[in-house]
Amino acid sequence: MTDDIPEITEKDFQRTLVRAQRQRLIAGEIQSGQDIADLRAFVGLTQVEFATALGISVRTLQGWEQGRRRPEGPSLALLRIAARHPRIIRESLASAA
């Protein structure tokens, strides 16, 4: 029954990542701040929510997204997890509240 399959909404479509980009992010190969902004949109969180879920400041996230800074170490690992398992990041936010 195809009636049980929900239509993709415009909001869902805007959250998608190109497969090659997602694979790069899973590998930790962040090329620009736009990659991080796209990843955050893919996870479906605002800057405040995403920063809270990752345990970083909004200012740090904004620095990444604007290309002024690059994530390193544990932050990079969390971004890789977000690319592979966005639901876990959303669950992290729920448990942080």
Domain ranges for the chain: 10-96
Spans in the chain with pLDDT lower than 70: 1-3, 6-15, 97
Domain covering 10-96: architecture: Orthogonal Bundle (1.10)
Helix (H, G, I), strand (E, B) or coil at 47: helix
Q: What is the structure's pLDDT at 8?
A: 59
Q: What is the structure's pLDDT at 23?
A: 93
Q: What is the structure's pLDDT at 4?
A: 75
Kindly tell me the burial class for residue 41, based on how many C-beta atoms sit within 10 Å of its own C-beta (0-12, 13-18, 19 or more).
Answer: middle
Share of the chain above pLDDT 70, in %: 85
Q: What is the structure's pLDDT at 27?
A: 93
Q: What is the structure's pLDDT at 17?
A: 85
Residue showing tokens 């690992």: 77
Helices (H), 1-97: 10-14, 19-26, 33-43, 47-54, 58-65, 73-84, 86-96
